[in-house]
Amino acid sequence: MIPYALGFAIGCFALALALNLWQVTRARAVPDRVLALDTMVINVIALLVLYGIAAGTGLYFEVALLFAMTGFLSTVAYAKYLLRGDVIE
């Protein structure tokens, strides 16, 4: 059962990534694009975890952890840039 569930979930997140990319490309405003990029990071983390379960190793959970820890920073930087122009004041 697990392999099917994993396959389904991976398929869903892959589709989500494609849709995110659509949003990155087509969104009207820059904040929307940045949000889409942020969502992509989250979806990639999900894919990593799923892939880790499929491969049966704990290594990918750590990688996912690091993605989560550092990935949001670029979103913060974009937000700061859009709000204030200067990222580090």
**Of residues 2, 25, 39, 53, which one binds another protein by CB under 8 A?**
25
How far is the C-alpha of 12 from the C-alpha of 28, rounded, in Å? 25
In this structure, which amino acid lies at residue 24? V
Token digits for 32? 């929307």
3 CB burial (10 A radius; 0-12, 13-18, 19+): exposed
For another protein, the binding residue among 4, 5, 10, 53 (CB under 8 A) is: 10
73 binds another protein (CB under 8 A): yes
- Chain residues in the site for another protein (CB under 8 A): 10-11, 14, 17-18, 21, 24-25, 30, 33-34, 37, 40-41, 44, 47-48, 51, 59-60, 62-63, 65-67, 69-71, 73-74, 76-78, 80-81, 83-89
